[in-house]
């Protein structure tokens, strides 16, 4: 009966690839093969090992259908785009080697941006997945106390200064000494945001902080 119901839904509401809109079969992956191969590129970003961040993984390239999905999620309020992200989380090849990272914390939005958007896009991407994997997910483990100029609008040398003291740890976010943390974000650009947030987590007690983002242009 359940199989028949799913078949009926597929006939009435056929699934479409979140990247290009092409009709696809629900029995397979959510993304069409072409869109998957255009963006799937898991890696440790070469420039991501910094003073407080032990590197950052990206699952995909910030291009083509992934760029469209992230823009829709962040700026067009298309929360339904999130269904397309779990495929890449499932395919990520190094979960076993990261099993001792038991705490996951998203990079926060400023209070103003959170009010405007109504949600943190990083929660939409990662929260359900991390909880299902048994991670402790602290959606407000870090707060951003002031608005900053978007990093994309600044020169490289100005980006770190722009984020100084912008990520104090919330008082309740005291991480047990020795705990390793995932620091999560939607996109990695220069790493300045990740480094500032990782510093806050180290001050709160984390022994190691490793980043993970859905997409990046960085090699």
CATH (domain of 188): 3.40.50
- Whether 19 is covered by a domain: the verdict is no
- Whether 141 is covered by a domain: the verdict is yes
Residue-wise pLDDT for 126-153, tens only, equals: 999 999 999 999 998 888 766 554 545 5
- Whether 211 is covered by a domain: the verdict is yes
pLDDT at 5: 35
Backbone angles phi, psi at 146, to 5 degrees: -145, 150
Q: Are 65 and 19 in contact (CB under 8 A)?
A: yes
Dihedral of CA 66/121/191/183: which sign? negative
pLDDT at position 170 over 70: no
Dihedral of CA 82/70/25/126: which sign? negative
Domain that holds residue 142: 40-216
Backbone angles phi, psi at 142, to 5 degrees: -125, 140
How many structural domains comprise the chain? 1
- Whether 28 is covered by a domain: the verdict is no
Residue-wise pLDDT for 95-107, tens only, equals: 999 999 999 999 9
pLDDT band at 157 (very low <50, low <70, confident <90, very high): low
Predicted TM-score (pTM) of the model is 0.84
* Closest among 178, 152, 151 to 163, alpha carbons compared: 151
Task: Enumerate the β-bridge partners of residue 187.
Answer: 215
- Whether 27 is covered by a domain: the verdict is no
pLDDT at 161: 53
d(CA 74, CA 44): 24
Q: What is the DSSP letter of 169?
A: B
- Whether 76 is covered by a domain: the verdict is yes
d(CA 31, CA 25): 10
Backbone angles phi, psi at 83, to 5 degrees: -60, -25
Dihedral of CA 27/28/32/34: which sign? negative
pLDDT exceeding 90 applies to what percent of the chain? Answer: 49
pLDDT at position 43 over 90: yes
- Whether 174 is covered by a domain: the verdict is yes
- Whether 11 is covered by a domain: the verdict is no
pLDDT at 30: 80
| Coil, helix or strand at residue 56 | strand
């Amino acid at each position: 009966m359940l199989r028949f119901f799913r078949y009926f839904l597929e006939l009435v509401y056929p699934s479409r690839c979140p990247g290009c809109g092409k009709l696809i079969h629900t029995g397979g992956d959510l993304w069409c093969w072409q869109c998957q191969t255009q963006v799937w590129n898991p890696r440790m970003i070469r420039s991501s090992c910094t003073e407080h961040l032990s590197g950052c993984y990206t699952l995909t390239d910030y291009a083509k259908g992934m760029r469209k999905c992230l823009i829709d999620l962040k700026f067009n309020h298309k929360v339904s785009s999130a269904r397309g992200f779990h495929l890449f989380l499932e395919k990520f090849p190094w979960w076993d080697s990261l099993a001792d990272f038991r705490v996951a914390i998203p990079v926060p939005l400023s209070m103003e941006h959170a009010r405007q958007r109504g949600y943190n896009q990083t929660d939409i991407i990662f929260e359900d997945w991390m909880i299902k994997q048994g991670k402790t997910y602290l959606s407000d483990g870090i707060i951003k106390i002031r608005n900053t100029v978007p990093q994309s609008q600044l020169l490289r040398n100005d980006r770190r200064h722009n984020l100084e003291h912008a990520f104090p740890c919330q008082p309740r976010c005291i991480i047990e000494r020795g705990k390793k943390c995932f620091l999560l974000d939607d996109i990695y650009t220069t790493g300045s945001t990740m480094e500032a947030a990782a510093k806050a987590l180290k001050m709160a007690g984390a022994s190691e902080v490793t980043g993970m983002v859905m997409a990046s242009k960085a090699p």
